[in-house]
Amino acid sequence: MDVRYGRQTPTSSVVLPYTETLGTRAIDLYKETGRAPQPWQEALVYDIRAIDEEGLFVHSKFGYEVPRRNGKGEIITIIELDDLFAGRRTLHTAHRTTTSSSASLRLATLLKDMGYQEIQRISRDETYEKAYTYSKQFGLERIRLLDTGGSVDFRTRTSKGGLGEGFDTLIVDEAQEYTDDQQSSLQYVVTDSMNPQTVLCGTPPTMVSSGTIFPKLRADCLSGKTEDTGWAEWSTEHKADVNDKDLWYECNPAMGYQLSERKIKAEDKSDELDFNIQRLGYWSTSNLKSEISVTEWDSLKCESKPKISPQLYVGVKFSKTAVSVSVASKTKDGKIFFEVIDCQSLRTGNAWIIQLLKTMQPEAIVIDGSGAQNILKAELEEEKVRNIILPTVKEIIIANAKFEQLLYAEEICHMGQPSLKQVVTNCEKRAIGANGGFGYKALFDQMEIGLLDSCILAIWQCSEGKERKKQRISY
């Protein structure tokens, strides 16, 4: 019976043009262990280790995503093996100590299979050929090839890991857990190298993943916002049927090698989202670590636009590059309905905001944004627009706390504006002040958090305002 194999080329990739690669040398070394790489592994090593006419890596940074148990770690081992023989210094980092420790054992096994001998104690009087040292301290493993001086250090990632040390290659294993503070300390460890390279590999973030760097790298690379960076992934674009066997082969290149239909059939599929992420490489459209989830936000969506009070409250938020304007009003059932009116570049000026507010005549206008808020306030007052509030830091903290309270109590509602939903379901809290106050920030640079901030300002004033009742005169 013919064997069916998984897709050997990525479902999505960004690979810069090249004519030469050190991948051939790396694959040849690997084959000396008696092993043979799968076609997709070999091709990916070629892409990662591509070089230009000066011998420098075409991709100074390369990220790749492959679902669980496909052998993505073997690609790292092939690269590390090549680095050892090239005399390069490599730092292998992982989220868990057990992962980094297992990676060191895998590399040492390859050296043994190539006929290399582990030396327990080095003697200055002896000359060693085909020999290496292997420090086995758990969490601090180190392998060094004696004839080239090449070495690989294995570490568990921390916010201070790698500081003060210099390497040529940085490996970020379990990259879905790679955080901003970890990158801040690790990204500079390869700065002094004449030919540095950073390789990140992992799976899409799950409900319990804490990393933000990996999804951001993917988004930037696939949208063409990066330089000297490559990406490859095996994934489904949409959440799919967990029993779709054709998709198993599409997203798992190791099918027909170490993976089989029988093995995947035995995997638990009760959590369809988790199966999509870990077996089918699905990247959720919203960040799974967002402070506000898609489910929470969608639960506040109205089926149709509600009848609202004529009393309107406006929030205006200036950011570094844009200004957002939102409005809020009470509904007949006592909830607060809100929506974004517009978001425009600061280069557009304030005329559109002034004209809008003159027409609306809101009960209150809250303007936030250092510097720009005073300018807009002065311009509005010249046009006889009143009821302007420039909130203090304390009031901003109160506004954010009030928004969170109303959100979880489901006392606010909206119409599901796509741009607002994208920002809200991809945000996290940021600290304001020293007493536990908070605001929100976007998890991705390309998202304008001002959309949410302007809504929060409008909701805050709407919640504080008292509804005017029509005067009744009796005779």
What is the residue extent of each domain of the chain?
Answer: 12-280, 294-464
Quote the mean pLDDT of the chain: 91
Whole-angstrom distance, CA of residue 186 vs CA of residue 171 = 10
Domain 294-464, second-level architecture: 2-Layer Sandwich (3.30)
pLDDT of residue 211: 80
pLDDT of residue 468: 46
Q: Which CATH class is domain 12-280?
A: alpha beta
* Cα angle 54-58-62, degrees, rounded to a multiple of 5: 150
Query: Which of these, 335, 299, 319, 338, lies nearest to 441 by C-alpha position?
Result: 319
pLDDT tens per residue across span 235-292: 999 989 999 999 999 999 999 999 999 999 999 999 898 899 999 999 976 555 678 8
pLDDT of residue 32: 97
* Confidence bin at 161 (pLDDT 50/70/90): low
Q: What is the dihedral sign for C-alpha 201, 204, 209, 215? A: positive
What DSSP letter does each residue of 277-336 carry, written as one string?
A: HHHH----SS-TT-SS-HHHHHTTB-SSPPPB-S--EEEEEE-SSEEEEEEEEEBTTS-E
* Confidence bin at 439 (pLDDT 50/70/90): very high
Whole-angstrom distance, CA of residue 90 vs CA of residue 80 = 7
* Amino acid letter, residue 95: H
* Confidence bin at 474 (pLDDT 50/70/90): very low
What's the start-to-end Cα distance of the chain, in Å? 98
Task: Extract the tokens encoding 320.
Answer: 């570094």
Backbone angles phi, psi at 244, to 5 degrees: -75, 100
Whole-angstrom distance, CA of residue 59 vs CA of residue 226 = 11
Q: Is the pLDDT of residue 472 over 60?
A: no
